[in-house]
């Protein structure tokens, strides 16, 4: 099973066009689903900092996005651990997630789903929020 996933992952990477270089960003935009409550949450995780989603601790190690002139793709390398009271933390997911193909390398967890939506810079986030206030 794991070997099949690895082969699919490598095959998908080989199909991606390599004409351009992805640009690094300092924040990853995630979406999380609590399967018990059916609540969907939008999460913003600064690269290198831990955020919590339920019992999960998520840290984005890097977030890359292709320039607008290339085929759209955002990808993030995530470390996700679960910390339950009274239990030692356990690693749930470590690897790359791709916004255009969330099923390519999904996190497998009985209660939570997490997937990448986009990459952005913190500076552009503050500019967007200040410009949107005047336009409402």
Query: pLDDT by residue (tens digit) across 36-76?
Result: 999 999 999 999 999 999 999 999 999 999 988 888 899 99
Say what the pLDDT of residue 70 is. 86
Distance, CA of 55 to CA of 46 (rounded, Å): 19
Global pTM? 0.73
Say what the pLDDT of residue 4 is. 52
Query: pLDDT by residue (tens digit) across 87-136?
Result: 999 999 999 999 998 888 899 999 999 999 999 998 755 444 444 334 33
The pair of structure tokens assigned to 82 is 């679960």
Report which of residues 9 and 131 the model is more confident about.
Answer: 9
Distance, CA of 69 to CA of 134 (rounded, Å): 30
Find out whether 107 and 113 touch, Cβ atoms under 8 Å: yes
């Amino acid at each position: 099973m794991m070997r099949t996933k690895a082969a699919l992952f490598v095959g998908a990477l080989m199909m991606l066009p390599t004409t351009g270089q992805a640009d690094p960003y300092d924040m990853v935009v995630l979406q999380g689903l609590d399967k018990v409550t059916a609540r969907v949450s939008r999460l913003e995780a600064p690269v290198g900092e831990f955020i919590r989603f339920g019992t999960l601790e998520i840290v984005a190690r890097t977030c890359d996005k292709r320039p607008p002139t290339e085929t759209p793709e955002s990808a993030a390398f995530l470390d996700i651990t679960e910390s339950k009271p009274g239990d030692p933390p356990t690693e749930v997911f470590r690897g790359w997630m791709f916004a255009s193909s969330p099923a390519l390398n999904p996190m497998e967890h009985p209660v939570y789903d997490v997937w990448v939506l986009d990459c952005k810079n913190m500076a552009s986030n503050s500019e967007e929020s200040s410009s949107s206030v005047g336009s409402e």
